[in-house]
Structure 1
Amino acid sequence: MRLSIESLLAAAALPALAFCAPSDVPAHLKGKRSTYTDNGVQRTVFEHEATGAKIDFVTNSGICETTPGVNQYSGYLSVGSNENMWFWFFEARNNASTAPLATWFNGGPGCSSMIGLFQENGPCHFVNGASTPSLNPYSFNEFANMLYVDQPIGVGFSYGTDPVTSTVTAAPYVWTLIQAFFAQFPQYESRDFGLFTESYGGHYGPEFASYFESQNAAIASGSVTGEKIDLVALGINNGWYDPIIQYKAYIDFSYNNTYKPLITKSQYTSYMNTYNSDCLPSLEQCTSTTGNNAACEDADNTCYNDIEGPISEGNFDVYDIREPSNDPYPPETYVTYLQTSSVVKAIGAKSTYTECPDAPYEKFANTGDDSRSFLSTLSGVVQSGIQVLIWAGDADWICNWFGGFNVANSIQYSGSSTFASKAVVNYTVSGVAGGQFKTVNNLSWLRVFGAGHEVPYYQPAVALQVFKQTLSKQPLSST
């Protein structure tokens, strides 16, 4: 049974510091706030009237972001009796009062966004496998207020009952979190909003963006009470968008990438024959029966067993083919750090950190979510006019740039034919080539040189420039 705030305060044996929002506050902002102390750490609780959600968080833990004057908040959004979604917010280091707001989601499905925070683009990182973090000068919060979310429930620090079984069912929970976040922190409302993600984010990104836009329309019509999310940008690196395109890309990339061949010519021919005879028909069956979980799960199993699984057993890291399979990179130092009792206490976490637990993944697997294409949804988001970036590190295999490039060329929007036929040119940062790109209207594509799956880890200067340009509603451009 869900505890009331009064119960929490009674348990903590502290007086309530609660207040209700005045009657003239808009309905979507109304709620009740209180504080309590847990394990020596003061926490704030906000109950959001419009959604029934509750936020329980710690202010300025001193962990990760140590830049003077830059605020941070970490804690939980509770959306039901036992559904607790972890978030960690960092103010922008520059112009926080006017900077845009961006969210970051890692993929999986079922992997924590603390991966992105600590290994890729957050305020701190672990240099050369250090045991403690240091400030990251290329953090995305150099430019934007950043919100990292562990979803679905059960991932990372999130805990409780996980009702999410697919990308589509995940979207409303994320929207609810952002609505409650706006109500607790109204100073970040009405900012330009960006959605950035990677890997399974090729599913998450299009669906979340589409859902946000549909909710905006419902709010405008009066059928939903809430705060409009001013979505201006969607960025997805090394995404898994469309299995029909991307399973074929496994074979093409394995034979003909710019680093080293992973399969022989005869293997290439054999895998391509198997793709056409087994994998492709099963994926087409999933596509033609969109409500049939069994057909989509069967397609996932067929294509994995015939193509993805056998190729990935080679002596290479699927996230960076330049590395051997027994040498995963980047290092996992941050996991030990996040499981340290002093860190857990300071940030207000109430569970043991797990990077990519099996249970949430299995729920997606059981609905065949992996085999479903989000290309049409992605096309709709591009058609809506927001700035969209599809990019990829060129040493990644699992969501390789061959597949991402073909997906980008297949997006349907007003600039489709021009985009598909346009040649790529060098993308530079201060005159140094960091990749190759092309852009038409509000869609940009970028291949990043010398980067594995987690692009901002490998090429942080390129990633920060790309992030700034996209969130500024600009097509990519060299500097």
Structure 2
Amino acid sequence: MLSVHLLTLIALVTSAKAAISPFTSRPRLQTTFSGLSDVEPFSLRLSPDTAKVCNSTTPGTSGFITADDGQGGNNSIFFWAFESKHDAKTDPVILWMSGGPGASSVGYGNLMELGPCRIASEGGYTVDNEFGWNVNATILFVDQPVGVGYSRGQRIPTGLRDSSLAMLRFLRQFMTAFPELADRDFYIAGESYGGSWVPALASTILRSESRSSGQRGALMVQEDGPNLSPNSRRGPKINLKGIMIGNGLVRRSVQNIGFFETVCSGPASLFNSSQCLEWAPRAMWCEDNLAVCEVDGMKSSACKDAESKCSAISKVVVEDMHLNPYDFRRECHDPDSCYSEMRHIDEYLNRSDVKMALGVPENEPFVGISLDVFKQWEEVGDLWRASDEYVNHLLQSGIRVLIYVGDKDLYCNAAGMRLLVDRGLSWHGQPIIRLRELVPWYLGTKSAGLWKSYEPLTYAEVAGAGHLVPFDKPEEALTLINSWIHGRLPAL
């Protein structure tokens, strides 16, 4: 059970009044925190009744953390955490980050993929998800950056580095409010643009923790009143152990090579032989030239020209063949509406009664995908910028990395992921993992995919899954991440 820490400095009678249960019946309870040298003062406001929104035995704890954004304004970040069903006192914590950039983790990651409740196929209510990732871990979903989901602020971060620092500030505040989670093994997981979100944040945490020194101590808390004076005590440590990247874009110049193999290989290839012969020269050109983006920069005219030429194969699949780019087995005439669940989630989280239960102001819309965030990332050149340097840093530092991929995805395809793992990273174990062969892993007696591993890096493919692995193959996804966290994969 998540609980908010109160310093014994406050009289016992006051502390008894202020202690917060995750399922508190006190609506809009506001608690103010201050007093640590490395955690900015913030306030916490919990949701009145998550059980009305999430149909699960663990409906979780949600709310807003509001603080100065460091730029003269305030951020109000919405989160939803679900305690582990197994051992809430010792199991690890997993932060999930949906892609985009600008997609809601609380909405889509939670209610469509790996939360303990899912939106019903017809919409309007949620159903229990027996394969939610909180079976053996506490799962944290955060709408980030501001402008996404229910989170609001006066300034959108200027790019990946800025947003990673903002998330580090949030996590320190969250761990301060829920200190029993601070000493747990901490993992960060995400998909799609999570190939940038996840390693960038993990690398930011790693560098921050290595710079931290001195005694970490308790925090002074006061409810509905002025902050207490800051002191020299430090906030809780984030005990980073590993990251999980699912169908993630990490290094486009390498992964793009996999598009041709995806559409032209195998007996069930998407292109016929004449199409493959037609597109082969373009594929070779991209293999030779797309790296210009890493040399000249993402905003250069040479990069933009290469990006346009090298996205042409996917346009044929999406616009001419009308296939779902996230699962090329399915027909889809509008990539923005390939999944009805996303529309159902938008409608559900914009309902007045749902907002009331979650403590969201009636006039604040739920923003499933923020085009403002997407455009901001595009403007600063962070939309396609390579994030392999973060992954390399983590691997060289001994942080465990799981890269997994559904083999029916077009955009972040398995062929490109294999190339990334074998040739797109640079760390001391790269020559070894390149030589290792992929071998099957199983769910019971059924083959569930392929995998290989060396030291901190593990690569796994999930058979029959598209871009959204926990959505397409929930049991396999849960089995995979639980086995990896505990240092083993399902039976070989």
TM-score class, shorter: 0.7 to 0.9
Q: CA–CA distance in 1 between the matches of 2:280 and 2:162? A: 34
Q: Confirm whether residue 58 of structure 1 aligns to residue 47 of structure 2.
A: yes
Query: Which of 320, 331, 341 matches 1:324?
Result: 331
Q: Is the 8 A contact 1:278 1:302 kept in 2?
A: no
CA distance in 1 between counterparts of 2:302 and 2:201 reads: 21
Pick from 159, 162, 168 the counterpart of residue 152 of structure 2. 159
CA distance in 2, matches of 1:64, 1:387: 34
Question: Structure 2: how far apart are the matches of 1:20 and 1:126?
Answer: 35
Note closer, same or farther for the CA distance 1:257–1:329 as it changes in structure 2 (3 Å cut): farther
Q: Which residue of 2 aligns with 1:45?
A: 31
Q: Which residue of 1 aligns with 2:228?
A: none
Q: What is the TM-score with the length of structure 1 in the denominator?
A: 0.84
* Distance in 1, Cα, partners of 2:385 & 2:234: 31
The answer on whether the counterparts of 2:66 and 2:74 sit within 8 Å (CA) in structure 1 is no
- How many percent identity over aligned positions? 24
Give the Cα–Cα distance (whole angstroms) in 1 for the partners of residues 282 and 481 of structure 2.
Answer: 39
Counterpart residue number, 1:11: none
> Once superposed, which parts of structure 1, at least 4 consecutive aligned residues long, lie more than 6 Å away?
221-224
- The answer as to whether partners of 1:296 and 1:368 remain within 8 angstroms in 2 is no
Give the conservation status (yes or no) of the 8 Å contact 1:296–1:369: no
Determine whether 1:370 maps to 2:383: yes
SS in 2 for 1:478: coil
Distance in 1, matches of 2:465 and 2:92, equals: 27
| Contact 1:300–1:368 (Cα < 8 Å) also in 2 | no
Question: When the two structures are superposed, what TM-score results if normalisation uses the length of structure 2?
Answer: 0.82
Q: What is aligned with 2:365?
A: 352
Larger CA deviation: 77-86 vs 194-203: 77-86
One-letter identity of the residue aligned with 2:50: S
Report if the CA contact (8 A) 2:6-2:19 is conserved. no
Counterpart residue number, 2:261: 252
2:140 is the counterpart of 1:147: yes
Tell me which moved more, 319-328 or 211-220. Answer: 319-328
> Where does residue 448 of structure 1 map in the other structure?
462
| CA distances 1:262-303 after superposition (whole Å, capped 9, x unpaired) | 33344434444335446853x43331245x644587257534
Shift of 1:133: 0.9
- Note if 1:395 corresponds to 2:416: no
Map of 2:79 onto structure 1: 87
Partner of 1:97: 89
CA shift at 1:204, angstroms?
1.2
| AA aligned opposite 1:287 | E
Counterparts of 1:307 and 1:123, CA distance in 2: 37
Matches within 5 A, 1:183-194: 183-194=176-187
Does the 8 Å contact 2:480/2:489 carry over to 1?
yes
Q: Considering Cα pairs closer than 8 Å and 6+ residues apart, tell me whether 1 or 2 has the greater RCO.
A: 2
Q: How many residues align structurally?
A: 445
Distance 2:346 2:123 in 1: 12
Q: Does 1:170 find its partner at 2:163?
A: yes
> d(CA) in 1 for partners of 2:328 and 2:132?
26
Secondary structure at the residue paired with 2:453?
Answer: strand
The aligned residue for residue 8 of structure 1 is: none
1:437-474 per-residue CA deviation (whole Å, 9 max, x = no partner) reads: 112222111111111111011111111111212333x1
In structure 2, the residue matched to 1:243 is 252
Once residues 349 and 102 of structure 1 are traced to their aligned partners in structure 2, the CA distance between those partners, rounded to angstroms, is 24
Give me the whole-angstrom Cα distance separating, in 2, the residues matched to 1:61 and 1:105.
Answer: 20
Q: Do 1:64 and 1:134's aligned partners in 2 also have CA atoms closer than 8 Å? A: no
| 1:263 and 2:271 correspond | yes
Matched, 1:128 2:121: yes
